[in-house]
Amino acid sequence: MPQIVKVLLILAGVFIVIVIGFQVHWLLGIGLIAGLLIYLIYANLSTWYVLRGNAVYAQGDLDKALAFLEKAYKSKNANPQHHIQYAFLLMKVGEQEKAEKVLQKLLQVATSTDVRMQAKSNLATAYWLLNRQDEAIRLLEEICQDYKTVTVVGNLGYFKLLKGDLETALAFNEEAYEYDDNDLTITDNLAQNYYMLGRLDEAARMYEKVMAKSPRYADSYYYYAKTLEGLGRNEEAAEQAGLASERTLALVTSITKSEIDQLKDKLATETDALEKI
């Protein structure tokens, strides 16, 4: 029986029970409605916590968001996705060990393939942040064999890039780009890969595609600025460095805020000097 039919039958049954309750006595009908409302609130408490957490996270209050997600996680009716979101926020605040435990616990009970693969993908990130890079890459490679998505492919390409074997990473990232040339992460990986190999013209062309999608994190703008600087396009580089300084770093990153500020100041100084000539 289709799920929508089941839901409609349940709702019809509840409605009939309430109507009968009012026919017996109006107080009984009101009591049934009150009981139903209490049940609905309890059954969806975890979701309410997550919605509150997402709202404050969007406002930049990471600590409060984490507090709401922890309440959702501890709720008896917590959705597996809530566990994954909680683990992600734990990693954002540097509690990778705790995030690993949350995800490992979820994997012990999760039966859905989608949930298991998402949990494993996030677990790979936890491994990386715990300096267990080889385990992180092996886990993503394992996932890719049976559950190849742009997110998994993008994460794996990024990890291979950061591992430092640039030619191996390039082979993977070019193949990934053929798999999906419209995905932001995959395109960004290839752009950064080209930059690190000194193939600046190719990097610049890729970064133009990346910037058209308005990337969220500072890393993309920083490496685009470095690419433009290498090509002698310092005014454009200065602009991108300024944009990088206004954004947060990705959860897994190869740069620091200090490096961004140093590049921004350096390019600004050089640009000002040229304007005075």
| Per-residue pLDDT tens over the stretch 27-51 | 554 654 555 444 544 555 667 677 7
What tokens were used for 146? 């049976």
In SS3 terms, 207-238 reads as: HHHHHCCCCCCHHHHHHHHHHHHHCCCHHHHH
Give 129-143 as a DSSP string. Answer: HTT-HHHHHHHHHHH
Distance of CA 233 to the CA centre of its chain: 32
Domains of the chain: 39-147 (1.25.40.10)
Range 54-60 average pLDDT: 81
| Per-residue pLDDT tens over the stretch 125-151 | 999 999 999 999 999 999 999 888 999
pTM: 0.81
Lowest mean pLDDT among 27-41, 71-85, 103-117, 140-154: 27-41
pLDDT for the residue numbered 219? 98
Q: Within 10 A of 75 (CB to CB), how many other CB atoms are there?
A: 19
Q: What is the largest CA-CA distance in the chain?
A: 93
Q: Are 173 and 186 within 8 A, CB to CB?
A: yes
